């Protein structure tokens, strides 16, 4: 198993891509600590994966809660091998000038500030283990997206942050990478699609933007994340890895 006995902390791990990653990490032998603000979803996940793993209800934008959560992980397992910064929100679907200051701050806090917090409070433990950091980004961070200016801005910042962190932490043997999906059928994307006037056209669009011809489930992203957290990626750092079915090439399926 690629991740046997490694302790991986996953933020936003109770649904969507995070959920798929947690299940994949467990399958590969990891001990997983899941941080999520949704207590109901988190409890359901813990029933699936069992008592060898731990769940902590946590607002990832709150410094006190992040510090406490990481200390709980260390208290239980004694080591931290990987931090997967997966937590993220995409709402509101608005142009920049229509976005309120509160909406701006919440997007920045969840998608970006949370990475600062997990690094601040987890770095010394990663130094001890020679561990790694993985961020969940998005292709919109390099391509942009209509009516999601602030979300795209946070993901562009994640890309730049990943590269700078990779440079800063390489002397400690800590790798830092980002996985960058395009469309992925998560509860968040499904909710957005269902809210559109032309849901069927949206589904066709999401299939067609991927060169390989379909919008995937979270498991294909999780496969790449397993690789990036494993020794198979021991010489990979500062990488923004697209897992996008070719969407970044700008073509459409004929």
Average pLDDT (185-203) is: 79
CA distance 88 to 40: 18
pLDDT one-digit tens code per residue, 107-154: 999 999 999 999 999 999 999 999 999 999 999 998 888 888 999 999
| CATH no. for 7-183+218-249 | 3.40.50.720
**Quick check: 196 pLDDT over 80?**
no
pLDDT one-digit tens code per residue, 79-113: 999 999 999 999 888 999 999 999 999 999 999 99
The sheet that has 132-136: what strands, in order across it? 54-57, 31-36, 7-11, 82-85, 132-136, 175-181, 240-243
**Quick check: 250 pLDDT over 80?**
no
pLDDT one-digit tens code per residue, 159-184: 999 999 999 999 999 999 999 999 89
Is 151 an annotated catalytic residue?
Answer: yes
pLDDT one-digit tens code per residue, 32-78: 999 999 999 999 999 999 999 999 999 999 999 999 999 999 999 99
CA distance 82 to 233: 13
**Quick check: 229 pLDDT over 90?**
yes
Backbone angles phi, psi at 10, to 5 degrees: -120, 120
The domain limits of the chain are 7-183+218-249
Q: Which of 151, 169, 205, 251 is catalytic?
A: 151
Q: Determine the pLDDT at residue 197.
A: 74
CB distance 134 to 83 below 8 Å? yes
**Quick check: 186 pLDDT over 80?**
yes
Q: Determine the pLDDT at residue 254.
A: 54
**Quick check: 221 pLDDT over 80?**
yes
Strand partners, 243: 181
Q: Determine the pLDDT at residue 252.
A: 65
Q: Which contacts qualify for 189-197: CB closer than 8 Å, 24 or more apart?
A: 192/90, 192/93
**Over the range 17-45, which residues count as b (16 or more CB within 10 Å of their CB) and which as e?**
bbbbbbbbbbebebbbbbbbbeeebbeeb
HSE-up of residue 78 (Cα within 13 Å, Cβ side): 1
**Quick check: 9 pLDDT over 80?**
yes
């Amino acid at each position: 198993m690629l991740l046997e006995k490694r302790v991986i902390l996953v933020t936003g791990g109770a649904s969507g891509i995070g959920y798929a990653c947690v299940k994949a990490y467990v399958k590969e032998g990891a001990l997983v600590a899941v941080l999520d603000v949704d207590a109901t979803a988190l409890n359901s996940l813990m029933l699936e994966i069992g008592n060898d793993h731990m769940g902590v209800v946590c607002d990832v934008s709150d410094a006190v809660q992040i510090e406490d959560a990481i200390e709980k992980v260390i208290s239980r397992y004694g080591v931290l091998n990987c931090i997967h910064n997966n937590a993220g929100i995409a709402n509101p679907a608005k142009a920049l000038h229509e976005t309120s200051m509160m909406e701006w701050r919440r997007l920045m806090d969840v998608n970006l500030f949370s990475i600062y917090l997990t690094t601040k409070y987890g770095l010394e433990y990663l130094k001890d283990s020679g561990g790694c950091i993985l961020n969940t980004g998005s292709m919109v961070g390099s391509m942009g997206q209509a009516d999601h200016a602030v979300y795209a801005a946070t993901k562009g910042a994640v890309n730049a942050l990943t590269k700078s962190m990779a440079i800063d932490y390489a002397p400690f043997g800590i790798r830092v990478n980002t996985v960058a999906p395009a469309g992925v059928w998560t509860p968040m994307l499904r909710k957005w699609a269902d809210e559109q006037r032309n849901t069927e056209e949206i589904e066709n669009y999401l299939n067609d933007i991927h060169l390989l011809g379909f919008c995937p489930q979270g498991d294909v992203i999780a496969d790449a994340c397993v690789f990036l957290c494993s020794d198979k990626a021991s010489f990979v750092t500062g990488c923004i890895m697209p897992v996008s079915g070719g969407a970044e090439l700008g073509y459409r399926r004929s």
